[in-house]
Amino acid sequence: DINLAFLKGEKAIGYVVDWSQMTINGMSKAEWIEKRQADQPDFDANKEYEEELLPSVEKMFETANDKIKKTGLYFVSGTDKKYTFYFYPQDIKKKGDNDINCVVKETTTGETKAEFNLQGDGGTWGSMGNLWGDGFEDAGEKLGKVIKKGIK
């Protein structure tokens, strides 16, 4: 189990999503956009990436906040809280399955307090943005469970 007891008594937890390590189906962003554009010539693959895929990560925080509200904690974007969760999406599959490395740091000192991985299961129906949303929603459920267990 992941020890997050240091979060007891905190209200808001900051978060940052760092996409720099992410691949999509094992491809870099540039390779993915090129392939996606070739497969879907009517699409604007870059626009889809920026405006549909990346923003779908917000579902993770909405779901996690819903799961942890009884603890008195909630996630808020940014680094102005005592602790910051850094989320590093690794490979995300086309259907939204994801693997996210999480590092919790004390914001002012940069000291790592905890580190763990989340794996969300994507969807089966809908646009790629919807499938990614399903995957991030699942990761958010798991994140909520990790926090609830970790602060006990």
Decide: 103 and 91 in contact? Cβ < 8 Å.
no
The pLDDT of residue 95: 95
Strand-pairing partners, residue 23, are: 91
Confidence class for position 26, pLDDT limits 50, 70, 90: very high
Cα distance between residue 122 and residue 133, in whole Å: 8
In terms of phi and psi (left: phi > 0; alpha: psi -120 to 50; beta: otherwise), the region of 81 is beta
Whether the predicted pLDDT of 28 surpasses 90: yes
| pLDDT digits 0-9 by tens, 72-115 | 999 999 999 999 999 999 999 999 999 999 999 999 999 999 99
Helices (H), the chain: 29-39, 45-48, 58-68, 128-150
Cα distance between residue 83 and residue 24, in whole Å: 29
Give CA separation, 68 vs 54, 63, 150, in Å.
Answer: 23, 9, 11
C-alpha distance across the termini of the chain, in Å: 11
Whether the predicted pLDDT of 1 surpasses 90: no
Q: What is the pTM of this model?
A: 0.95
Whether the predicted pLDDT of 43 surpasses 90: no
The pLDDT of residue 24: 96
Confidence class for position 49, pLDDT limits 50, 70, 90: very high
Overall average pLDDT of the 65-73 stretch: 96
**Residues 133, 91, 26, 38, Cα dihedral to 10°:** 20
Q: Which residue has the tokens 């699409």?
A: 43
Give CA separation, 18 vs 22, 72, 78, 106, in Å.
Answer: 8, 26, 12, 17
